[in-house]
Amino acid sequence: MYEIPKIPVSVEVTLAQNETISGKMFVTEDLVSAAGNPQLLDFLNDDEDRFFPFESAAGAYRLINKQQVILIRTEQDDSEIREQTPIKPRNMVAHCTSDRTIYGMVYPTLAEESRVSDIINDAREFIAIYQNGQKIILNRQHIIYVNSN
């Protein structure tokens, strides 16, 4: 049996029903940045599969529907993105379904997309927001409205 090598990535997933699950997502070895960070955004946005594999901290294996994910807290920080862009980060507060409010910084990577409105209107389903330096992956489908300055 042929198996594609996968890297386990520790995360905390919050679902639309307000269930939060700690565990591991699995990404292929080719989805690692030059700094060694798993590229979860690329995995979630570029993989056409509607479900992704997840193993809970309790050991239960699940396939989670991407549309039901509100956010994913990672162990990554903002050091890599700060090195990649000279553009000033922007404050953002996202008011989401299930009475969730997520605040933090978004980092524009292109000069022509330097406003929060450019980032929030991007075609990709998931975006990154950094809360106290910690990377959170946010599903735009669950955002009701955004405040920014």
pLDDT digits (tens, 9 = 90+) for 120-145: 998 899 999 999 999 999 999 999 99
Q: Is 1 domain-assigned?
A: no
pLDDT digits (tens, 9 = 90+) for 81-124: 888 888 899 999 999 998 999 999 999 888 777 889 988 998 89
Which of 25, 52, 75 is a domain's end point? 75
State the CATH number of the domain containing residue 135: 2.30.30
Task: Say if residue 41's pLDDT is above 80.
Answer: yes
Determine the pLDDT at residue 2.
64
54 and 18 in a common domain: yes
Return the bridge partners of 80, or none: none
Q: How many domains does the chain have?
A: 2
138 and 106 in a common domain: yes
36 Ramachandran zone, left/alpha/beta (phi>0; psi -120 to 50): left
Measured from the Cβ of residue 133, the count of other Cβ atoms closer than 10 Å reads 12
Q: Is 84 domain-assigned?
A: yes
Task: Say if residue 27's pLDDT is above 80.
Answer: yes
142 and 83 in a common domain: yes
81 and 68 in a common domain: no
Q: Is 61 domain-assigned?
A: yes
Which pLDDT band holds residue 31 (cuts at 50, 70, 90)?
confident
34 and 92 in a common domain: no
Could you tell me the two tokens for 48?
Answer: 């056409």
Q: Is 48 domain-assigned?
A: yes
Q: Is 52 domain-assigned?
A: yes
Cβ distance 4 to 49 under 8 Å? Answer: no
144 and 81 in a common domain: yes
Q: Which structural domain, as residue segments, surrounds residue 102?
A: 77-148
| Average pLDDT value for residue range 53-61 | 94
Q: Is 99 domain-assigned?
A: yes
